[in-house]
Chains A and B, each alone.
Chain A
Amino acid sequence: MIWRIAVFALALSAWAGSTAKAQPVVVDLSKSSVDITAGFTGTEVLLFGATSGYGEVVVVIEGPKEIIGVRRKENVAGIWVNGRQIDFKNVPAFYKVLSTNSLDEWLPLAVREENQIGVEYLNLKPLDSNIGAAEASEYRAALIRNKQQINHYGDVERRLNLAGGRLFRSEVFFPANVPVGRYFVRTYLVDKGKIVSTRTIPLNIRKIGIEADVFRVAHQHSALYGIAAIVIAVLAGLGGNALFRRR
């Protein structure tokens, strides 16, 4: 708990310092990177910041953009098989929104659309532009549903509390299956239905340790990896046999 108080104090001082330059909103994270190690079961990062006393705050946590394919299962002769696939581009691997208040009341739809605030406003388009709108929207909805199912996407959460109308903080949870890559935490200060200030902080989520090395070798030096896998297996077999024999 002590470190939390410490960072909070830090936020205060940051805010105090920033008011001199009249920054409408300041924000920071308790970590600049999240390391995924062997025992990783998810982690929380503390987000904290301050406003200069007016407006509402909304924070978008967005993972690296990638191409993701969605397949529809079809019933062929009684068996469920993978049918048509549509690939979507610029899909954030991870997407969560935190806010100080319910967005509907104070953030106009046009602004939400423009800044992609909320899963329903994500600009997800098929890679192949010839795909019909009706079909694309069905697959798009399924993509979001699937992402929510594995906890990579979330609805807008009213979890930012404005303390004294100025300070805000919240834990951001990254689950065990969090995708790796470069994340961006975008903080918007909204006043009278308009975004008056934006802050973007990068956050690196990366694998480190033996797991990361294994993954890297497997993908970059796959022949070496294959041979190593066989050698390990042969040695393990010999070892197992030696154990057997002594009995």
Chain B
Amino acid sequence: MFLYLPIAEISVNVFVILGLGIGVGTLSGIFGVGGGFLMTPLLIFLGIPPAVAVGTEANQIVASSVSGVLAHWRRDNVDFKMGSVLLIGGVIGSTFGVFLFKLLRELGHIDLVIMLSYVVFLGIIGLLMLVESIRAMQRSRSPTRRRKLHQHNFLHGLPFKMRFRKSKLYISVLLPLLIGVFVGVLSAIMGVGGGFVMVPAMIYLLGMPTSVVVGTSLFQIIFVTANATFLQATLNQTVDVVLALLLLVGAVIGAQIGTIVGAKLRGEQLRGLLALMVLAVCGKIVFDLLVTPEELYVIAGGGH
């Protein structure tokens, strides 16, 4: 069954898109990741224009983060104060990011910047996860070492200190603000929630307890991606609600499958598998950038 997407302006097979939503939704259910960093490149592989894939994915992440944050809120795993500081930074960052997106689009380089961002981040995250999961598999065979609650480094010496009760932290607001700005820019350019950068940053840079990290990250992602959605819609007209809805339906179903499957399977091995998938997507993008195109000239849509 084919459906014409009004903004992407192409016909897609409904079941392919639903399947994609279910697949990525299942992964996010298993691993607790947003899935944007897999969904956006997969949409691009399917032939959705990169700019539309990015704008639409921001819209879809709003929904999945709302859904996710409620579950964490019920378990009292959201640090709203920290989340608010991060989201102020995030809104500033994503606003800047969308304007940058518009500028790059006019210069004709947006596709390249999206692809290169993906190569860099998928590459880094994929490798880190792979190393992590291999270590975890080894560790499960040997006795574990206890880590300190968090390490202090020079970042904790910055001014404007603020107390974050839930995170058991007394740190400078500048740090979460800057992290928020950085992830906001990424989120706007790459069409991701940014959880895959935000979560490690919260744990390793801010030193937040792992229990509140995911909930707080999801909380701020709602606002950052909502801001990105609004700006992408108004400045670039690249948000396809029909596509977003199709993906959503798939993602909701997938998330349920994911939680069931995730509870039955071994974590480290799955994480290793996810890492390999991330690296495979990264590899495909690199290949596309390097291989000589059959047609050297492309229609650019015109100067109107």
Tell me how many residues of B have a C-beta within 8 Å of chain A: 58
Tell whether A112 is near chain B: CB-to-CB under 8 Å.
no
Most chain A CB within 10 A, of B7, B231, B232, is at: B7
Closest to A239 in B: B252
- B230 engages A233 (CB within 8 Å): no
- B255 engages A240 (CB within 8 Å): yes
Residue A70 contacts which of B3, B242, B298 (CB distance < 8 angstroms)? B298
Most chain A CB within 10 A, of B252, B289, B291, B302, is at: B302
For residue B270, give the distance in angstroms from its CB to the closest CB of chain A.
21
- A69 engages B296 (CB within 8 Å): no
- A39 engages B226 (CB within 8 Å): no
Closest to A207 in B: B6
Residue A233 contacts which of B59, B111, B256 (CB distance < 8 angstroms)? B59
- B233 engages A40 (CB within 8 Å): no
Interface residues in A178-198 (C-beta closer than 8 Å to B): none
Q: Could you say which residues of chain B place their CB within 8 Å of the CB of A80? A: 289-293
Closest to A143 in B: B299
Please choose the segment from A5-13, A43-51, A97-105, A211-219 that sits at the chain B interface, where 4 or more of its residues have CB less than 8 A away: A211-219
Residue A218 contacts which of B233, B292, B293, B304 (CB distance < 8 angstroms)? B233
- Interface flags, B262-304, vs A, CB<8A=1, else 0: 0000000000000000000000000001111101111111111
Tell whether A87 is near chain B: CB-to-CB under 8 Å.
yes
Residue A41 contacts which of B2, B65, B70 (CB distance < 8 angstroms)? B2
Q: Could you say which residues of chain A place their CB within 8 Å of the CB of B300? A: 68-71, 82, 85
- Interface flags, B168-194, vs A, CB<8A=1, else 0: 000000000000000000000000000
For residue B247, give the distance in angstroms from its CB to the closest CB of chain A.
10
Q: Could you say which residues of chain B place their CB within 8 Å of the CB of A230? A: 59, 62, 226, 229-230
If A176-B11, A226-B233 touch, does A139 touch B297 (CB 8 Å cutoff)? Answer: yes
A-B contacts, CB under 8 A, total: 185
- A36 engages B4 (CB within 8 Å): yes
Tell whether A159 is near chain B: CB-to-CB under 8 Å.
no
If A78-B290, A82-B112, A145-B295 touch, does A233 touch B229 (CB 8 Å cutoff)? Answer: yes
- A146 engages B298 (CB within 8 Å): yes
Tell whether B117 is near chain A: CB-to-CB under 8 Å.
no
* A interface majority secondary structure: helix
Closest to A142 in B: B297
Interface residues in A190-242 (C-beta closer than 8 Å to B): 207, 210-212, 214-215, 218-219, 222-223, 225-230, 232-234, 236-241
Tell whether B140 is near chain A: CB-to-CB under 8 Å.
no
Tell whether A72 is near chain B: CB-to-CB under 8 Å.
yes
A36 CA to B112 CA, complexed, in Å: 32
Residue A82 contacts which of B10, B63, B108 (CB distance < 8 angstroms)? B108
Q: Could you say which residues of chain A place their CB within 8 Å of the CB of B60? A: 233
Tell whether B198 is near chain A: CB-to-CB under 8 Å.
no
A240 CA to B248 CA, complexed, in Å: 9
- Interface flags, A71-95, vs B, CB<8A=1, else 0: 1110100111110010100000000
Q: Could you say which residues of chain B place their CB within 8 Å of the CB of A232? A: 63, 241, 244-245
Q: Could you say which residues of chain A place their CB within 8 Å of the CB of B226? A: 230, 233-234
Most chain B CB within 10 A, of A40, A176, A218, is at: A218
- Interface flags, A23-49, vs B, CB<8A=1, else 0: 000000000000011111100000000
A82 CA to B290 CA, complexed, in Å: 13
- B231 engages A226 (CB within 8 Å): yes
Tell whether A177 is near chain B: CB-to-CB under 8 Å.
yes
Tell whether A125 is near chain B: CB-to-CB under 8 Å.
no
Tell whether A147 is near chain B: CB-to-CB under 8 Å.
yes
A211 CA to B243 CA, complexed, in Å: 11
Residues of A within 8 A of B (CB): 36-41, 66-73, 75, 78-82, 85, 87, 127, 139, 142-143, 145-147, 149, 176-177, 207, 210-212, 214-215, 218-219, 222-223, 225-230, 232-234, 236-241, 243-244, 247
Would you mind naming 15 contact pairs between A and B with Cβ atoms under 8 Å apart? A36-B4, A39-B3, A66-B304, A70-B298, A70-B299, A82-B300, A127-B303, A145-B295, A147-B299, A211-B242, A229-B233, A230-B230, A233-B248, A243-B256, A244-B256
* 4 interchain residue pairs of minimum CB distance: A237-B66, A226-B233, A142-B297, A69-B300
